[in-house]
Structure 1
Amino acid sequence: MEIGISTFAETSPDVHTGEVMSHAQRLREVVEEIILADQVGLDVYGVGEHHRKDYAASNPAVVLAAAAPQTKRIRLTSAVSVLSSADPVRVFQDFATLDGISNGRAEIMAGRGSFIESFPLFGYDLNDYDTLFDEKLDLLLKLTASEKVTWQGTHRPAINNLGVYPRPVQDPLPVWIGSGGNQESVIRAGLLGLPLVLAIIGGRPAQFAPLVQLYKKAAAHAGHDASKLPVASHSHGFIAADQETAVEKFFLPTQQSMNVIGRERGWPSYSRQSYDAARSLEGALYVGDPDTVSEKIIYLRKNVGITRFMLHVPLGTMPHEEVMTAIELLGTKVAPRVREEIAAWEANGGA
């Protein structure tokens, strides 16, 4: 069971003061958070790509590369790379470069992107939303499989037996598929034999169990060993030394963030009632003291089949020292307990 962190490098207004930190400050904080995550024994750190004012990380590979020489073992991934609006050659080169700097710790998490600002920015038509991803994923996988590539599509100029460099340390460079829970996307990941990441940020996580089974069924149908394919989750949360502190500190930034996105997408207002319901054992919010968060991750592993858990923290803008404390508690308190209990559970046949 792998445990890690993901971030979008938020720069939304502080809920108490209204102040907005600079993109530069938030990026420097993220590098410090990656270094700490490595020091406390976490397995992975992911940075999400966005192209809007309230998020600072438009190029995850650059952010991760800034921390790579200052870390030793933590894996460094995008979360996600918006492949549909990117050039797969450049994505591959960026992460192959990161892989070299980190000596084989880079990963690509490829997704369509739930935020669409990058499409007009880079000149893509949203009517091609699905075909763009399919075509560009095909090219990315060819780049990971071979030094020289011959490829032709409809949304990008063809490549005729050209080498793409640098080559990564890992062969092949790992590519995960990020999904919000769409059946088509999990089937695609399974048929391709690629690791799957599910964004479990609402509802009941147990409802994702059939999707995991569908993914494994598709993988087995295509001849892949489904038992060896990892499944990750990305979920919002926050950890403090005691339950009440964690709950109260995380509510207002969460409410603010969810309402900003909600107004854009037509969601209902995010209430304290919604927040408290999501904090329950069967809810999708991983907020509380180390024991509470540990129990929820263990529940997720046993009931959904997740083998990598990524805590998305912060949600919105929170004091850097509080985020650092949450990361430290995840690495020193939560992760050891989760790994130990899951190992014992698996040793007993998962019963």
Structure 2
Amino acid sequence: MKNVEDAYKLSPPQRELLTWRQPALETRLEHLCWSFRGPLDEGALEQALKELVHRHTVLRTAFFTQGLAEPMQVVREKVSAVLERVELPHVAEPERAEQLAAWLEEDRRRGMNLTAAPLARLTLLRTAPESGTLVFGYHPLVLDARSAHLCLEELLRLFQAMREKTVGTEAPEKPRPYREYLAWLEQQGMGELENHFRHVLREAQPTLLPESPAAGAAEGTPTHQVQQLVLTPAASGAVQLFLRRNKLSLATLVQSAWALLLRPYASGGDVLFGVLVPGRPTSLPRGESMLGRFAHVRPWRVAVPADGNTLRWLRGQQAELTGRQRDPSVSLAQVRSWLGLPEDAPLFQSAVTTWESPEENTLEELGRSLGLRSLHPRVLPLPFPLTVEALSGERLTLRLHHDPRRFSALKAIHLVGRLGALLETLATQPDQDLSSLLRELESEKREPVITAGARVEVAELQTLLAQHPAVREVAVRAEGSELVAHVVPVSRQTRKLDFSLFFFADEDDGASDKYRLLMEAGKFADRHGFRAIWTPERHFHPHGGLYPNPSVLAAALSSVTENIQLRAGSVVLPLQSPFRVVEEWSIVDNLSRGRAGLSVVSGWVPNDFALAPENFARKRDILFERLEQVERLWLGEAIPAKDGAGNEVQLRVFPRPVQPKLPLWVTCSTDPGLFEKTGTLGYHVLTSVIGQSLDEALEKLGLYGAALTRAGHRREEHITSLMMHAFVGRDADEVLDKVRGPLTSYLRAHVALMQTLVKSLELQVDINQPQWLDYLASYAFERYYRTGALIGTVTSCLPMVDRLMTSGVDEVACLIDFGVDVDAVLEGLTHLAELKRLVHDDALRMERVLTESLEERLPGRRPAVRFRLVEALP
């Protein structure tokens, strides 16, 4: 036959897909979407695509069913593979997600002709001259999700080679064709598998939840809805830590949690639902790297005992899941045949799927190296009345796809909320007895009720908003043509947090404008109501080497700002003459018309003391001796000194400052005694989370506050300033891509931080060994950005801000120049200013947080609701 390389039957997973009628098979496209910014070599990308299609038979496969006794797949010798290019209208950033979602839906409707290979396509969507999204669309008949990731990884490696012109330097390993998987399947005896299903499914009935169809949902309407729950960073971190510690998979945890939720509805102790298993032929050499359709749905029967240790039960489930995943693929039709059931007999009502990122995600790293970021899968739900989908990531995402003709939105909200809470409970309380869990679940088994005559949309929104932790009470009403949510908040912050900018950049020999960021950020902060700009004192080292003299830089900033305070963070006082410190900062105070401020520190780097070597041994004592002198000189007093002839003289400092009293901070790092002394003496305090955790820093600020009170100082007149790394953006994934490398390098340079990590992890390692230092720096980044920084989106940073305010922090000094490129930092300042606005405006914050929450809970839908903050519901 012309242009035919091979032809063979379909595998069980492929045959199963042919039975899924909704949506139409031709439109069951799935996508991997990868955003990019910057230039993209389209020619090299298209060449890589052609080579990829040439190498893999599954990408040259078409399917034929008409007029055949049995469907066949045909591998073409040659196919045309082109990079499709689409120019989308340029829209603002917030609308791009909706624009992409609309295009993906249109691409699905466009579908694929199953008789025309390839059944995968690569599209370059441009939303701006040098940014857009790379979309890899594929049909599940030829690739499952794991194969699609492998396919995309190989495509990027080929792209890299084409771009760098290294093609052919290494002969790539020839991939195993999909036909070999079918040959392997034929060699597997199905007798054991048939006996297994006959045994576990004997007299088993699908575990059914009470149905609650949405009002007005017409029977026969092919549609589905989704309710989504994204766990908080704390809950997601707890789940990830629990899984790592106990060597459990996310699939085990989610399937077990779903079994527990279904247990109160089961007639016995066993629960039956479907699971999507990888189905990869692990016993076939190089089977893990083979491309094709291997994943399939299989019935899963879980025995949930009435009591026993929960963690021990979870480990048993893991062993069972691992063992059964080695089974050969089988279709649900074959299972029904073995059980003697009719072809349309439902084996289960609900199914569970999980998408886990591997520990070492080479695809993500490879993409970042090529300028790609934010990889997102767009997978269609399984065709069952209820499908639970769990996606791992920085925050664990749960989606409950449901047929609204059988399960209302309120029912779905209820179930996904209970599932999320149960996952957190299993992760944080794994040693409790199953009996207590089951009793709690049984007591919670209640059905959501819609008030007679109420609009479903109103009830859905009101239920979702009522679950938000910031909402005490809510009532959603239709007022004219719009929906209005009257919200009573849980609480309102009476204290407000000030925001400042902090600088500590490395010296960059190649930079032509070393102080551009400082000056431009200073002007921005001045216009947008930031409290202060902090510049440090650093000597003889490239790390922080841009700042040997903060007073000079503060003087420069005074000429381009009008309102913002200009502070040193911090003057190493044992290195300086008190006379020079007051002279310089009095000039700054005059130039800025009274905006100078000073934090002082004893110093810790021996090299710095080349300026005053005799002071190193007594640096702490000298700090406070000279601090008293600085205060007196600022007030206009004369203090004793020796002149050049050795005479005792009394000297005053000029010019006289504008402020009668100099605002003074003491920089405290980890010594609790220094915090207490600073409070006793009545100075402001500046600290950070470098070398200590946030909990430790806040505890020491508590010691400072207690010392203030004991010494008779008024707490409200004193400022606690906390330095934190900060980078705020619109997209969480893009933020992480921007900060991961620079912040890891920054943390790596802090030996004290590395030593603290070694101690906290109880590791016996030498941090001078590069391999350990790299590991610890990577670990430090993961822990630091989650628990000790303002890194993320505007709303994702709000919980950290709340914690600082409730812990007595008055000002967060945002360290913004830790290695991220200048233009990105300046762009990020707009989002940092937006965060500040939300912190200072309760109504604006509530509207923003609840709007984003609804968009997160209802993906693909933008609810049109207006929010009104009220003290109480009428």
Q: Same fold (TM over 0.5)?
A: yes
Instruction: Note the alpha carbon deviations across 1:156-203, whole angstroms, 9 max, x for none.
Output: x99743221112111101111111132222122112211111122354
Partner of 2:813: 310
Check if 1:289 corresponds to 2:777: no
Check if 1:5 corresponds to 2:501: yes
Which range moved further: 98-107 or 51-60? 51-60
The one of 532, 557, 576 aligned to 1:86:
576
Which range moved further: 69-78 or 159-168? 159-168
How much identity, in percent, do the aligned residues show? Answer: 20
Q: Secondary structure at the match of 2:510?
A: coil
The one of 228, 232, 236 aligned to 2:725:
236
Partner of 1:338: 839
Partner of 1:16: none
Query: Which 4+ runs in 1 deviate beyond 6 A?
Result: none
Check if 1:214 corresponds to 2:718: no
Which range moved further: 225-234 or 27-36? 27-36
Residue 138 of structure 1, CA deviation: 1.9
Check if 1:273 corresponds to 2:765: no
Which runs of 5 or more residues in structure 1 are unaligned?
13-19
The one of 256, 264, 267 aligned to 2:745:
256
Instruction: Note the alpha carbon deviations across 1:83-133, whole angstroms, 9 max, x for none.
Output: 121112111111111011111111011112344432113444421222221
Q: Secondary structure at the match of 1:247?
A: helix
Partners of 1:265 and 1:161 in 2: CA distance = 47
Q: Does structure 1 conserve the Cα–Cα contact (< 8 Å) formed by 2:669 and 2:688?
A: yes
Which of structures 1 and 2 has the larger relative contact order (alpha carbons within 8 angstroms, sep 6+)? 1
Which runs of 5 or more residues in structure 2 are unaligned?
1-496, 757-766, 768-772, 846-870
Partners of 2:613 and 2:784 in 1: CA distance = 38
Q: Secondary structure at the match of 1:109?
A: strand
Partner of 1:99: 589
Query: Structure 1: which amino acid aligns with 2:781?
Result: Y
Q: Does structure 1 conserve the Cα–Cα contact (< 8 Å) formed by 2:691 and 2:752?
A: no
Partners of 2:593 and 2:547 in 1: CA distance = 23
Q: Secondary structure at the match of 1:298?
A: helix
Partner of 1:52: 540
Partners of 1:275 and 1:236 in 2: CA distance = 11
Partner of 2:520: 32
Distance 1:113 1:334, change over 3 A: farther
Check if 1:128 corresponds to 2:629: no
Q: Does structure 2 conserve the Cα–Cα contact (< 8 Å) formed by 1:96 and 1:173?
A: no
Residue 5 of structure 1, CA deviation: 0.7
Q: Secondary structure at the match of 1:37?
A: helix
Partners of 2:660 and 2:647 in 1: CA distance = 24
Which range moved further: 90-99 or 202-211? 202-211
Query: How many residues are paired up?
Result: 329
Distance 1:321 1:158, change over 3 A: farther
How is 1:159-174 mapped onto 2 (pairs within 5 angstroms)? Answer: 160-174=649-663
Q: Does structure 1 conserve the Cα–Cα contact (< 8 Å) formed by 2:636 and 2:652?
A: yes
Residue 324 of structure 1, CA deviation: 0.9
Partner of 2:564: 74
The one of 216, 226, 239 aligned to 2:715:
226
Higher helix share: 1
Residue 245 of structure 1, CA deviation: 1.2
Residue 263 of structure 1, CA deviation: 8.8
Distance 1:278 1:266, change over 3 A: closer
Partners of 2:712 and 2:587 in 1: CA distance = 32
Q: Secondary structure at the match of 1:127?
A: coil
| RMSD of aligned residue pairs (Cα, Å) | 2.8
Partners of 2:672 and 2:548 in 1: CA distance = 28
Q: Does structure 2 conserve the Cα–Cα contact (< 8 Å) formed by 1:9 and 1:27?
A: no
Query: Structure 2: which amino acid aligns with 1:321?
Result: D
Residue 301 of structure 1, CA deviation: 1.6
Q: Does structure 1 conserve the Cα–Cα contact (< 8 Å) formed by 2:590 and 2:657?
A: yes
Query: Structure 2: which amino acid aligns with 1:4?
Result: S
Q: Does structure 1 conserve the Cα–Cα contact (< 8 Å) formed by 2:679 and 2:704?
A: yes
Q: Does structure 1 conserve the Cα–Cα contact (< 8 Å) formed by 2:665 and 2:685?
A: yes
Residue 8 of structure 1, CA deviation: 1.5
Q: Does structure 2 conserve the Cα–Cα contact (< 8 Å) formed by 1:61 and 1:78?
A: yes
Partners of 2:802 and 2:755 in 1: CA distance = 33
The one of 498, 511, 529 aligned to 1:41:
529
